Chains A and B, each alone.
Chain A
Amino acid sequence: QQQVKQSPQSLIVQKGGISIINCAYENTAFDYFPWYQQFPGKGPALLIAIRPDVSEKKEGRFTISFNKSAKQFSLHIMDSQPGDSATYFCAAGGSGNTGKLIFGQGTTLQVKP
């Protein structure tokens, strides 16, 4: 019940294309769903996050779509750029300062010029 399943494991997209990464969770107590971006040799960094009271959140070229009934959420990267090439992790957790995050398995995105 603590798992977060992420797909695909890897993704290759042409520059200017749309990258889509999907995640599914099991625990209905989760109420915070962030996406983290990790470049080689660096730690993961928060990219965008959503709470379950909205179905979509957009920040620049990055959009999270959230489907509470299906317990699924996805990251869309519009107009993908080579600089977006990184590993992306979805995560889920509870509210509060001590709530731990459960991470998905990660998706390695390569954007070809």
Chain B
Amino acid sequence: DQQVKQNSPSLSVQEGRISILNCDYTNSMFDYFLWYKKYPAEGPTFLISISSIKDKNEDGRFTVFLNKSAKHLSLHIVPSQPGDSAVYFCAASEYGGNEKLTFGTGTRLTIIP
């Protein structure tokens, strides 16, 4: 049972445009959500997170939006840069738990120069 889903395995975006990566979840106990970026042969790098008490969190070019009623979150990158080309993982943890992360299967983002 996939509790965190990234339905787009890949996405291509023109440099300078907005990249939007989407993530859906099914477990209503999730209350902390994170986005990680991963380059080949490296571990995931933490990008940005959001707590369920918020609906938006912004950090530079990265903004995460959370829609709790729809159990949906998205990561916006604007403007997109070639160095943003990587695999992006959405992850979630459950309130009151040990904060172990449940991951989606990732979206490969390619920025076209």
Whether chains A and B associate is: no
**Residues of B with Cβ closer than 8 Å to A?**
none
